[in-house]
Amino acid sequence: MLASFNWIKDFVDFKADAPELVRRLAMAGLESEILSQPGKGIDDHVVTAQILKIDKHPNADRLSLCEVQFNDEVSPVVCGANNMKAGDKVVLARPGAKLPGGLVIKVSKIRKVESQGMLCSESELGLADTSEGILILPPETPLGLPLTQALDLGDTILEIEVTPNRGDCLSIQGLSREVAANFHLPFKSNETPTFHEATGKSQVEVNVRSQERCGRYACRVLSGIKVGPSPQHVVRRLESCGIRAINNIVDATNYIMLETGQPLHAFDLKEIRRGQINIRTAESGEKMKTLDGIDRELNCEDLVIADGERILALAGVMGGEDSGVSEATTEILLESAWFQAGSVRKTARRLGLQTESSYRFERGVDPSGCVAAINRLTEVILEVAGGKVLGSTIDHYPDPVRPIEVTLRPSRIQRILGIALEAPEIMTPLQALGISGEAGKGGDYHFQIPTYRSDLNREIDLIEEVARLYGYDRIPATYPSIHLSELLQAKGNSFDQLDHIRTLLTGWGFHEVLHYSFTSHELLKKFSQEFSEEQSLLNPISEDQSVMRPALFPQMVQTLQSNVFKGNKDLRFFELRPVYRFDREGDGKRPFQESWHLCLGMSGARRSPHFLEKESATALKEFKGLTLLDLKGYLEALFHRCLPGIKIAEGPLNLPYFHPNRQMSLTLQTPGTQGETVAGGFMGRLHPAVLAEMDVPVPILIGEIYLDLFLTEWKNSIQFEEISPFPTIWRDINLIVDEKTPSGEVLRVIRAQGGLWLRRAELFDLYRGKPLEAGKKALTYRLEYGAKDRTLTDEEVNGSREKLLEQLKHTLGATLR
């Protein structure tokens, strides 16, 4: 909410300047900042004046020579503008004046004619960013006054963030009450308005059909009013508080709303048909045109103000165009009512129509204040627009709200805040806020909560009030002692595992990336991702962010693409996040599954070559480009590090977006079972057609891993194996097999049939070509033999190797090369 510093000062006589007020308000829970200081930098040499006479400048076509009067003096002033005429009230910067832009005014000769000052435009005065011509003041402006005084400038506009619980602070009076309590100063309320109340029959008949949603409805008719512009200071204040001035009637309702926090409305009495004001719910499909000129279709949830025939206003939200005050209006009906917060909120939300009025009703308006506000409004309107009260005032308020009483136990204050407070420390600040109370038997306090503080209903609410006014900074910080809690502390958590994966991957050169959890339908379809429509958002910001992702890799592909487009090379990225799946609902189970995935994405080389490696650049070129085997290697190492002892196996895969011969699935053996397996993830190189479609000129490798096992079986399987003091013996075997025989199958047979002493076997070389026949390949494996209790002899090792060769020949048809 925007608030005028000077306006607050009308109600509290404090000495602090604006920055100090901002600080004090912040410490009272009202965050604020200085928004603007109109008129700042305009000194008292800038005064109101009147043009008596305008002549052409004798030596310049585009300039005028004006005779300008302020006080009793008349000065010649040269002026370049042409929007003024003799008799206009204007702003004169006299010699010696300094303007906000830094310009200092002196007596000067312009084209040989003396000019004793300058006539100013709004932009020269810092009152507007741009302006055309000089500022013309209203005719009733007195002469010779400093401009800051004449326009009520020199004010500071604060933007105050009022938290949703403090509806009472959405007014100058409410804010002033806070300021007064904070500075320990009295709050100066307005004098009781004085005007002639009328008697006699009311001009309208009020029927409240929904008592719950309209707890109070006060209205009064004024006749003989004259609609016109508001006084300058009213316009200034409204505009500086962000409300456009319209005419003296509408401006008065807004002005008093800002002052008191009570939303007010003025109807043109002529437009109220059959003399009825009916507060009722709309009929479904009923239409009206609101003040902003928009046709609205209503439903039976909307509370409206209607006359005998049609809807006049949306209760607490906005008036109707037809029944608003116009130039021709002479009789008005003023409304000051209390509408239920939830009711106003529903209508305002549904229509997307938040107004100054709905904003206040939603946050709680004081029903006790309706009549004071309408009286104040009446007083102001009678003053600025003339007229008189017609007929008696209606105040429909069958069930008045009464102040509630809340009990506050000192022991409870100590329990919550950790400090013991004396009676004056509790009572005095609360009393300053209008909350009166007394100590009862047993030392407890009983407080009467004024109706404008609807946020204070419970003891804890008062404790917060006491703490707030005592000052949070005066409550000493303490260090609690700990009761250990067996449940949470004993359990490990998956965050350690996730961090371990991060450590490994960054050590291998991967950067962690982060994508939104929602993505586009289109992207998921492009990568054949299946998902339930239930995973879509009802109200997405855009199609790009419209469905909760069932997999990580599609966005990874996009990120690789955008990095390639930005000229970034040699990319290795990972993402570690949950994915979302809709499951059938049942047994009170949540229908959505969230499980952690790891996605790796790579493109380019391991790194750009060091200069030492340039010499063999051609050899490196083939070697250093990242291949599917690099990705497989990283993933195998990750499984090995995080799930040692759990067997993984690759399997064939047939995904359309991968290169048909560069993709595989990974399967994990379920721990504690005999050969049961669980899906571990998949990887592949993107299909060249997919790359071409995305305009990406370099290969992209993608892997996605399901982390469930990582998070449950974390390092459970480590068992130390004693280190043998006896040396091991190495043997190579060089086999020729069919091209179709997977090398992994050969290795599997070697490991299964290698005998007791075989400790390790790894592929050492792969060769195709002459002198091998077509359709054959040569595989060299390096085998390590060793025993735990002695050094093996050559004969023993050779014998074991022979046996293995037999087996390989038998099962795979492998021959020794």
Partner 1 sequence: MKEDLLKSLKSLTDDLDGSVQKVQTEAGLSELKATYLGKKGRLTEVLKGLGKLSSEDRPAVGAKANEIKNIIEGRLRSALESLQRQSIAKELAQDTFDISLPGRTEVVGNVHPISQIFAEARHIFEGLGFATCSGPEIEDDYHNFEALNIPADHPARDLQDTFYLKDGRWLLRTHTSTVQIHIMENQGAPVRMIAPGAVYRCDSDVTHTPMFHQIEGLWVDDRTTFGDLKGVLTLFIQQMFGDGTKVRFRPSFFPFTEPSAELDMSCHICAWKNPSCPVCKGTGWLEILGCGMVDPAVFQCVGYDPEKITGFAFGMGLERMAMIKFGINDLRLFFENDLRFLQQF
**Footprint of partner 1 on 377-416 (CB under 8 A):** 415-416
| Residue of the chain from 200, 293, 480, 652 that contacts partner 1 (CB under 8 A) | 480
User: Does 606 contact partner 1 by CB under 8 A?
Assistant: yes
Among 130, 192, 199, 478, binds partner 1 (CB under 8 A): 478
Q: Which residue number, 96 or 471, has a Cβ lying nearer to partner 1?
A: 471
**Residue choice 377, 505, 643, 686 for contact with partner 1 (CB under 8 A):** 505
Q: Which of residues 405-464 bind partner 1 (CB under 8 A)?
A: 415-419, 458, 460-461, 463-464
Rounded to a whole number of angstroms, the minimum distance from the CB of residue 541 to partner 1 is 5
Please state, in angstroms and rounded to a whole number, the distance separating the CA atoms of residues 373 and 123.
37
Give least dist CB 772 to partner 1, A.
36
Q: Which of residues 608-627 bind partner 1 (CB under 8 A)?
A: 610-612
Which of these ranges, 89-97, 243-251, 481-489, 748-756, lies near partner 1 under the rule CB under 8 A?
Answer: 481-489
**What is the token pair recorded at 125?**
């005065």
Q: Contacts with partner 1: how many residues (CB under 8 A)?
A: 96
Q: Alpha-carbon torsion 299, 300, 304, 308, what sign?
A: positive
Q: Is-contact 264 377, C-beta < 8 A?
A: yes
CA 21/CA 32 separation, integer angstroms: 9
Name residues whose C-beta falls within 8 Å of residue 435's C-beta, 6 or more positions apart in sequence: 447, 448, 449, 450, 453, 456, 462, 465
Amino acid at 566: K
633, 509 contact by CB (below 8 A) = no
Q: How many alpha carbons lie under 13 Å from residue 403 in its C-beta half-sphere?
A: 14
Q: Whose Cβ is closer to partner 1: residue 190's or residue 545's? A: 545
SS3 assignment for 580-638 = EEECCCECCECCEEEEEEEEEEEECECCCCCHHHHHHHHHHHHHHECCHHHHHHHHHHH
Taking the least distance from each CB to partner 1, the nearer of 267 and 338 is 338
Q: Which residues 528-547 are close enough to bind partner 1 by CB under 8 A?
A: 533-541, 545
Give one DSSP letter per residue of 83-113, joined into a string: S--TT-EEEEE-TT-B-TTS-B---EEETTE
Task: Compute the least distance from the CB of residue 469 to partner 1, in Å.
Answer: 9
- Could you tell me which stretch among 218-226, 438-446, 584-592, 781-789 binds partner 1 (CB under 8 A)? 584-592
Token duo for residue 590: 């949540």
Please state the three-class secondary structure of 672-732 as a single string: CCCCCEEEEEEEEEECHHHHHHCCCCCCCEEEEEECHHHHHCCCCCCCCCCCCCCCCEEEE
Q: 283: which DSSP letter?
A: P
Question: What DSSP designation does 139 have?
Answer: T
Nearer CB in complex with partner 1: 541/766: 541
Lay out the site mask for partner 1 across 208-227 (x = CB under 8 A, - = otherwise).
Answer: --------------------
Site for partner 1 in 745-784 (CB under 8 A): none
Region from 204-212, 382-390, 394-402, 607-615 binding partner 1, contact rule CB under 8 A? 607-615
* Integer Cα distance of 121 and 128 in angstroms: 9
- Within residues 687-726, the interface with partner 1 by CB under 8 A covers none
Interface pattern 549-568 for partner 1 (x via CB under 8 A):
----------x--xx--x-x
- The stretches of 398-532 forming alpha helices (DSSP H) are 410-417, 423-432, 459-470, 486-490, 494-507, 521-526
Say which residues have a Cβ less than 8 Å from residue 661's Cβ, sequence separation at least 6: none
Q: How far apart are alpha carbons 663 and 431 in whole angstroms? A: 76
- In the complex with partner 1, the residue whose CB is nearer, 371 or 419, is 419
Quote the least distance from Cβ 766 to partner 1, whole Å. Answer: 25
**Residue 476 interacting with partner 1 (CB under 8 A):** yes
Answer yes or no whether residue 607 interacts with partner 1 by CB under 8 A: yes
Output 533 or 773, the one with its CB closest to partner 1: 533
Q: Are 262 and 192 in contact (CB under 8 A)?
A: no
Torsion of CA 434, 435, 440, 444, to 10 degrees: -140
φ, ψ of residue 136 to 5 degrees: the values are -100, 125
Q: Give whichever of 131 and 517 is closer to partner 1, judged by the CB atom.
A: 517
Q: Which of residues 286-345 bind partner 1 (CB under 8 A)?
A: 341-342, 345
Candidates 24, 500, 515, 526; binder of partner 1 (CB under 8 A) is 515
- Shortest Cβ 489–partner 1 spacing (Å): 6
Near partner 1 in 27-56, by CB under 8 A: 27-29, 31, 33
| 105-124 binders of partner 1 (CB under 8 A) | none
State which of residues 362, 379, 650, 713 lies at the interface with partner 1 (CB under 8 A): 362
Q: What pairing do the DSSP bridges indicate for beta strands 276-281 and 205-208?
A: parallel
* Contact residue for partner 1 among 17, 399, 499, 732 (CB under 8 A): 499
Q: How far is the CB of 342 from partner 1 (least distance, A)?
A: 4
State which of positions 156-195 bind partner 1 (CB under 8 A).
163-166
Which of 208, 227, 377, 513 touches partner 1 by CB under 8 A? Answer: 513
User: Which residues does 440 contact at the CB level (< 8 Å), separation at least 6?
Assistant: 407, 446
CB 744 → partner 1: shortest distance, Å?
27
3-state secondary structure of 223: strand
Shortest Cβ 457–partner 1 spacing (Å): 11
Q: Which is nearer to partner 1, 537 or 816 (CB)?
A: 537
587 counts as binding partner 1 under rule CB under 8 A? no
Tell the smallest beta-carbon distance from residue 29 to partner 1 (Å): 3
- Answer whether 119's CB lies under 8 Å from 85's CB: no
Q: In angstroms, what is the minimal distance from the CB of 242 to partner 1?
A: 18
**Residue in 229, 231, 391, 578 binding partner 1, rule: CB under 8 A:** 578
Confirm if 348 and 315 have CB atoms less than 8 A apart. no
Pure H helices in 317-434:
341-351, 356-363, 370-385, 410-417, 423-432
Q: Which stretch binds partner 1 (CB under 8 A): 291-299, 383-391, 589-597, 702-710?
A: 589-597
